[in-house]
A and B are shown apart, each in its own frame.
Chain A
Amino acid sequence: MFKAGRRKNLSDKTFKKGSSFRSLPWIGPASLLIFIFVLWPVVELFLVSFREISVSGLIKGWAGADNYRALLDNSDLSGTLKRTAIWLVVVVALTMALSLPLAQLMNANFRGRRFLRYSVIVPWAASLVITATSWKWILDPYFGIVTRILVDLHITKESVDLLGDPRTSFIVLLAVGITVSLPFTSYVLLAGLQAIPKEIMEASLVDGASSWKGYWAITFPLLRPAFLVAAVINSVYVFNSFPIIWVMTKGGPAYETDTTTTFAYKVAFRDQDIGQSASLAVGNFFVILIFILLFLKLSKWKELDQR
């Protein structure tokens, strides 16, 4: 039954290697749920993108590439794509740039560190919808506290409508997007910092290197794996981000603040063009797939695979 020299352990005694059948009661239910409710929607999405669908949701037949053509002809697509790129690049880049010093601060020793760490957790733990609603209220042109602050600081004399003005609304969304992304990335970097042995950090300071130089020469290279993983996972979150934009501007005024995520939602559930929206969602899916491949490359799943 056992091959000579093979490590004998519990699993070898009870389960023959390779008997997939026996593993089914254990991993079967989980696999089944993932297949039915996570992977089936993917298949359904692809199918729908090639179908002609009535407003009521009935399938009329195959549409070939008509849905994709309709999407490319949509005059709001190019602006949305451009904004999605800006949204992704700006939010992720600034989040990563800011979370380096933030993680450093969270790791430093000072009175009030616990307050800082718990405060940073709040936007991560709290419902994004509620956070976005609160920002919407804060930025309300008449009753919001931001207007009051700007008036008190003599920056403006009358009410400012930052969300209603197409010149500022997207910038405001970017800023809120960054504040809700920062907790995750800085906690990942904090974990990375805590994994660096103290002696190494101290050595870099004692050697007379300025702390700035020491940081880039010693700390950051050690932090790089955590930094990259945080950036990739954060990119997926940011790309998929829906509640912030939806609650604060609904992608408006008009389509001025839409990203592909909110745009796909509008096309499907407001304009009732399921097919066209599905073709956009297929595009979104491929973007996410690229990030997943990056993530697989970065994560050391193969090491974990060999117990």
Chain B
Amino acid sequence: MTITQINKRRKTSRKKRSKNSRVKSVILSLTGITVGFLFIFPYVTMLSTALKPKSDITDMPPTYFPKVYEWVNFIKVFQEIPFGMYMRNTLVISIATMIIGIIVAVPAAYYVARNNFRLRTPFLLLVLITQMFSPTSLLIGIYRELSIFNLVNTYQGLILINVSFNLAFSVWILSSFFRTIPVEIEEAAFIDGASRFQTFRKISLPLAAPGIVTTAIFTFIAAWNEYVVAYTLASSPEKQPFSVGLSLLTGLYEVKWNFLFAGSLIAIIPIIILFISIEKYLVGGLTAGSVK
């Protein structure tokens, strides 16, 4: 075989390979996009329904896409169903949960990350074990306890339950953030005469800001999406978050599906965006550091 022949062969095989890999990457793309679409299929259907006028909702058989696009449904939803009230309740509960959760979790997480103390291991175990507890299996206990405190059907009751059940995750993820801050930085401030609390407030807290924001967003989302406890405890519509309010609307004689879904989309789209923004840290936090 001459050198030119060999070279020729090489060239054709390279061409073949590059053609192969192009086909492969197109197939990958098609697969990936199809699979992705399967995951958002229910939400796309929701959007299509939300945009339909009332008369089209009960078309038999249903149309795939709206004949006319009623974007105004996204405004009318506030008049047609008590959506504004549900959103107000959801916001009150989630924002309060987020703020209280951070105020309580940050000091605990910081202390655990920085100090060795006798209660450290018991506290870590408490956090790790309760991270797996869900209010669903404890509903009766929660209901009875809140009855004793007179907190059934109140914002306070829902907020306290939300805060407490999310504390484990918050402490865990925050403390891993504090652990990444070099002790030397704090020691330097300490030597400069700063008190323990000043060091914490002026040095550690700002450095852990990304962690605090991540935790705050996660707690906010968890409270936003919470359903079982609110469904059981918030009996009056004036206290119900959207998850309960909207789900109860489906039990009515005439369901306004277009408005129901317009409201649903308003309630979930900002949350999806927030969720994507903290995705990087989620797996580490949810698996207690055993994966990431």
Partner of B132, one of A134, A135, A292, A304: A292
Partner of A116, one of B32, B58, B124, B165: B32
Residues of A212-246 contacting chain B, CB below 8 A: 225-226, 229-230, 233, 236, 240-243
Give the number of residue pairs across the A-B interface with Cβ within 8 Å: 327
Residues of B contacting A226 in the complex (Cβ-Cβ under 8 angstroms) = 287, 290-291
Residues of B contacting A102 in the complex (Cβ-Cβ under 8 angstroms) = 35
A135→B129 CA distance, assembly (Å) = 33
Residue ID in chain B nearest A11 by CB atoms: B115
Q: How large is the interface on A (under 10, 10 to 19, 20 to 34, 35 or more residues)?
A: 35 or more
Residues of A contacting B42 in the complex (Cβ-Cβ under 8 angstroms) = 123, 131, 134-135, 138
- In the complex, the answer to whether B141 meets A44 with C-beta atoms within 8 Å is yes
Can you sample 9 A-B contacts with CB below 8 Å?
A23-B111, A108-B32, A110-B32, A113-B32, A120-B39, A135-B42, A191-B291, A225-B291, A305-B124
Residues of B contacting A43 in the complex (Cβ-Cβ under 8 angstroms) = 141
User: B67 to nearest A CB, angstroms?
Assistant: 15
User: B53 to nearest A CB, angstroms?
Assistant: 14
A125→B121 CA distance, assembly (Å) = 32
- In the complex, the answer to whether A243 meets B227 with C-beta atoms within 8 Å is yes
- In the complex, the answer to whether B221 meets A11 with C-beta atoms within 8 Å is no
Partner of A125, one of B187, B232, B276: B276
The answer to whether the Cβ of B70 comes within 8 Å of any Cβ in the partner chain is no
Partner of B138, one of A42, A112, A144: A42
- In the complex, the answer to whether A240 meets B141 with C-beta atoms within 8 Å is no
The answer to whether the Cβ of B161 comes within 8 Å of any Cβ in the partner chain is yes
- In the complex, the answer to whether A192 meets B291 with C-beta atoms within 8 Å is yes
Residues of B contacting A269 in the complex (Cβ-Cβ under 8 angstroms) = 232
- Convert A97-118 into 0s and 1s, putting 1 for each residue whose CB lies closer than 8 angstroms to a CB of B: 0000010010011111101101
Q: How large is the interface on B (under 10, 10 to 19, 20 to 34, 35 or more residues)?
A: 35 or more
- Which residues from chain A sit less than 8 Å from chain B, CB to CB? 9-11, 13-15, 17-20, 22-23, 25-27, 29-31, 33-34, 36-45, 48, 57, 102, 105, 108-113, 115-116, 118-131, 133-138, 142-145, 147-148, 151, 179, 182-184, 187-188, 190-192, 195, 225-226, 229-230, 233, 236, 240-243, 247, 261, 264-265, 268-269, 274, 277-278, 281, 284-285, 288, 291-292, 295-296, 298-301, 304-305, 307
- In the complex, the answer to whether B227 meets A187 with C-beta atoms within 8 Å is no
Among B125, B126, B132, B135, find the residue whose CB has the most chain A CB atoms closer than 10 A.
B132
Given A126-B43, A225-B290, A229-B290; A143-B160 close (CB under 8 Å): no
